[in-house]
């Protein structure tokens, strides 16, 4: 038989050995992650390594791996590290990492067809119906993240409001102008979803928030009444289950009631907060979430599944399918054979080819179990309360927003506060000691610690406070002397 060149190795024993080395290196990385800085500035030479021209000739796997270890691994953003508290990033787990390798080896495409990988995705869907108390007719889909899940929520609600013809005719043809409502603390992806859906981001009303940074219910009712009086068509209310800047949770029961009275679609942006349902002490805070028409959330945040793993859950699976299913000759369904098993995941979203995100999620839930994942979520909230206490004990520090879940917004007290606190955050990040980010609260720049990682512990909080006080002292003094 003629021997044909493929991309597989001619010598499996050497790739096997190299592969074991790669696996060991990643176990070592995770086992000893505390000994590393969270993040470090990237040297110019390192950046330059990734500006070479297209390689024409084969390279050595061991050399590429060495480049990874030396020049890639140390310079990621560091969200696997326990002292990472910037933005809202999950920490990942060794189990998720292994599952990702298995998924890549199988190279399954979950757009459709009759295959067990899709049953794994349906299993996760079934678990989510159970967690959120949704009916068996509810549908769901893995997507990149909550930005995409929010978009799907808006599109399903839009098609439900205007009818399936809108998909053909466009929103211009409709004789209604749809408007939506979310709190002023809503994530930007909701306005983007309105834009992409052709409704325009101006059609999203950002309703003012109360002291707890929850949507002001009276203001919402006024806004709906004003829009109706102006001849517009309210169609969509977003409830926040954990806002990205402070972790505020809207009064979801009140929003569910208003959605029902006004016959509006009730969508939840629960990007990280929705999985608080796994934690017995947090779940009651989310009361009302079980009444939503759709819930967007991420397994890659509080669920600790490696990136990316977003999810959209829709109460009425038929409405979900009606917003996306499209006939195509090459996607014909059969009762038997590989083209069986309809409807397929591609009938519920814009993606046709889709990876096996479900596998790392299935492994994470099977291996750790709901209780332990919930415990990790509770712990991050307890750490946030602990950090808030430390801030209250230190007169140099000031809390800028109530701590609702796992996010703490605070500042170092100083005359030139915004500039000094921005400096403190940069210095913290560059020191590698801790990595918070910033946000703006009531026009003040805040140091924002979002505690999401299951590895974070009290020592990390203590180190953050200690370093903030030290950097604050020098930054504040320098600002007073006109230096930076
Ligand atoms: C992170 C986040 C998003 C966006 O989710 P991605 O997974 O990054 O796309 C949306 N809403 C909230 C509240 C978030 O925290």
Q: pLDDT per residue over 415-470, tens digit each?
A: 999 999 999 999 999 999 999 999 999 999 999 999 999 999 999 999 999 999 99
Helix ranges (H only) for 112-247 are 116-132, 146-162, 166-169, 188-196, 217-229
Distance between Cα 107 and ligand 1 center (Å): 27
Residues 6+ apart with CB under 8 A from 41: 430
At residue 1, the pLDDT reads 56
For residue 421 and ligand 1, the question of a CB distance below 6 A is answered with: no
Distance between Cα 450 and ligand 1 center (Å): 13
What average pLDDT does the segment 54-74 reach?
97
What span, in angstroms and rounded, lies between the C-alpha atoms of 420 and 162?
50
Kindly indicate the confidence band of residue 482, based on its pLDDT and cuts at 50, 70 and 90: confident
pTM over 0.75: yes
Sign of the dihedral through C-alpha 354, 355, 359, 362? negative
Query: Helix, strand, or coil here: 159?
Result: helix
What span, in angstroms and rounded, lies between the C-alpha atoms of 279 and 60?
47
Is pLDDT of 99 > 60?
Answer: yes
pLDDT in tens, 188-240: 999 999 999 999 999 999 999 999 999 999 999 999 999 999 999 999 999 99
For residue 354 and ligand 1, the question of a CB distance below 6 A is answered with: no
What phi, psi does 477 have (nearest 5°)? Answer: -65, -45
What average pLDDT does the segment 321-343 reach?
91
Distance between Cα 171 and ligand 1 center (Å): 26
Q: Which residue has the tokens 């009276």?
A: 218
For residue 406 and ligand 1, the question of a CB distance below 6 A is answered with: no
Counting atoms of ligand 1 from 1, which one is nearest the CA of 147? 9
- The two tokens of residue 146 are 């909550």
For residue 153 and ligand 1, the question of a CB distance below 6 A is answered with: no
For residue 183 and ligand 1, the question of a CB distance below 6 A is answered with: no
At residue 483, the pLDDT reads 66
Kindly indicate the confidence band of residue 331, based on its pLDDT and cuts at 50, 70 and 90: confident
């Amino acid at each position: 038989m003629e021997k044909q060149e493929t991309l597989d190795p001619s010598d499996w024993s050497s790739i096997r050995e190299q592969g074991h080395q790669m696996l060991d290196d990643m176990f070592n990385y995770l086992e000893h992650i505390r000994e590393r800085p969270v993040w470090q500035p990237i040297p110019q030479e390192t950046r330059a390594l990734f500006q070479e021209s297209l390689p024409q000739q084969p390279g050595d796997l061991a050399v590429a791996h060495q480049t990874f270890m030396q020049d890639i691994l140390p310079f990621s953003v560091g969200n696997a590290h326990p002292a990472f508290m910037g933005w809202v990033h999950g920490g990942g787990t060794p189990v998720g990492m292994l599952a990702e390798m298995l998924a890549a080896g199988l190279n399954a495409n979950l757009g459709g067809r009759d295959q067990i990988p899709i049953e794994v995705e349906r299993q996760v869907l079934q678990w989510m119906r159970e967690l959120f108390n949704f009916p068996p007719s509810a549908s769901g889909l893995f997507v990149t993240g909550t930005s995409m899940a929010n978009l799907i929520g808006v599109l399903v609600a839009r098609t439900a409001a205007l009818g399936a013809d809108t998909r053909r005719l466009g929103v211009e043809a409709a004789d209604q102008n749809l408007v939506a409502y979310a709190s002023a603390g809503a994530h930007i992806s909701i306005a983007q979803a309105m834009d992409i859906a052709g409704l325009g981001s101006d059609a999203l009303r950002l309703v003012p928030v109360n002291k707890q940074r929850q949507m002001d219910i009276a203001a919402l009712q006024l806004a709906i009444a004003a829009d109706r009086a102006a001849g517009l068509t309210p169609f969509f209310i977003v409830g926040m289950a954990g806002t990205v800047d402070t972790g505020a949770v809207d009064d979801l029961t009140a929003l569910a009631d208003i959605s029902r009275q006004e016959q509006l679609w009730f969508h939840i942006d629960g990007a990280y907060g929705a999985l608080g349902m796994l934690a017995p002490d947090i779940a009651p805070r989310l009361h009302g979430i079980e009444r939503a028409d759709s819930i967007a959330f991420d397994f890659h945040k509080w669920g600790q599944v490696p990136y990316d793993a977003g999810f959209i859950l829709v109460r009425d699976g038929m409405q979900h399918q009606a917003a996306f299913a499209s006939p195509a000759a090459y996607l014909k369904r059969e009762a038997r054979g590989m083209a069986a098993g309809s409807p397929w995941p591609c009938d519920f979203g814009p993606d046709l080819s889709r990876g096996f995100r479900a596998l790392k999620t299935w492994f994470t839930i099977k291996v750790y179990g709901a209780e332990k994942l919930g415990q990790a979520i509770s712990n991050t909230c307890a750490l946030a309360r602990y950090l808030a206490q430390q801030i209250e004990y230190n007169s140099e520090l000031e809390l800028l927003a109530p701590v609702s879940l796992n996010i703490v917004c605070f500042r170092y007290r100083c005359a030139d506060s915004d500039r000094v606190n921005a400096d403190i955050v940069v210095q913290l990040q560059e020191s590698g000691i801790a990595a918070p980010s910033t946000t703006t609260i009531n026009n003040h720049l805040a140091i924002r610690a979002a505690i999401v990682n299951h590895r974070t512990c009290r020592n990390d909080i203590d180190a953050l406070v200690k370093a903030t006080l030290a950097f604050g002292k020098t930054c504040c003094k320098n600002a007073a002397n006109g230096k930076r």
